[in-house]
Copies of this chain bind each other. A is one copy, B any other.
Amino acid sequence: MLLFICINATAQQPIQERLGYSKETKLLIIHTDDLGVSHSEDSASIILLEKGYASSGSIMVPCPWLSEIAAYAANHPDADLGIHLTLTSEWKYYKWDAVSGKDKIPGLLNSKGFLYDDLDSLGKMAKLDELETELRAQIEKAIQCGVHPTHLDSHMGSVFFNKDFLKIYLKLSHEYKLPCLLNVAAFKMIYNVDISDIITDKDVLTDNVFMAFPPDNNAQHITYYTSMLKDLKPGLNCVLIHAAFDDDEMKAITQDHPDYGAAWRQNDFNFFSGDACKKLIADNNIRLITWKEIKDKLMK
């Protein structure tokens, strides 16, 4: 069964009203994660963004293909692109390190000089000042490369891993005036972190966050997303997708890694570029929204 994260848990004024929409409006960000990780991911995601099938995406700054997506961002200033803050390097044979000089953030790197494979190692080894240094460096490097970031979120949810990490995430969100992906219920359920006491009116809460978790099965994928779109509630919804092609590059990157593979990514691309998805969005009166609109209206 695919995991379904869908719990509304905010005490703020309904965000759709804060954004100038009626209380009944079903807002949806279709968000392509992992930009910059590979040419395959960039190519598939750029198609979704260009054709309006995805409303937003976010960039992994430490990854080898950063320059490709940064050049796209520089040439498409209206593209809705944020920073997918990255503190892990999880694939078997395809690795990256951090953006900060490694002398500055030794606690974030494994013995071979790469970011850790997994969240547990990161959680145990990271020092908070180093974490802040690296996250800040990723935002700055993206800007330097021509990206005008519209929001923040986090690869593998690494900055949601504990409350201390989350406080740094919020600090950077406030400092750069960038909305960031926040969902009280999902963070509680997945990371066992209660953020309700550190959220203020300055923060933008996403009411519902969706993602088709592995194990992958194309039929389940379609069923999951179809139900999600049919049952979408009024408020701000965000679906996290990972669009890439099931090609040699993506297969090689994701080899010997449980889940989140090339076929899973191709299925995401197929569903969101398909006519069925477009029809479901129209039939269910779903309004796609960008992080940029949220930033411009709520983070001035």
Contact = CB atoms under 8 A, between A and B. Distances in A.
A113 B103 CA distance: 15
Copies of this subunit: 2
Contacts of A65: 93-94
A103 B145 CA distance: 20
Given A101-B101, A103-B101, A103-B104, A64 B96 contact: yes
A111 to B, nearest CB: 7
A93 B112 contact: no
Contacts of A95: 64, 66-67
Contacts of A111: 144
Interface residues of A, number: 32
A162 B95 CA distance: 32
A126 to B, nearest CB: 17
Interface in A168-206: none
Q: Interface centre among A99, A248, A253, by most B CB within 10 Å?
A: A248
A96 B252 CA distance: 19
Given A40-B249, A249-B249, 16 more contacts: A39-B93, A39-B248, A64-B64, A65-B93, A68-B93, A68-B252, A71-B93, A100-B102, A101-B101, A101-B103, A102-B102, A103-B103, A103-B104, A113-B141, A248-B248, A249-B252
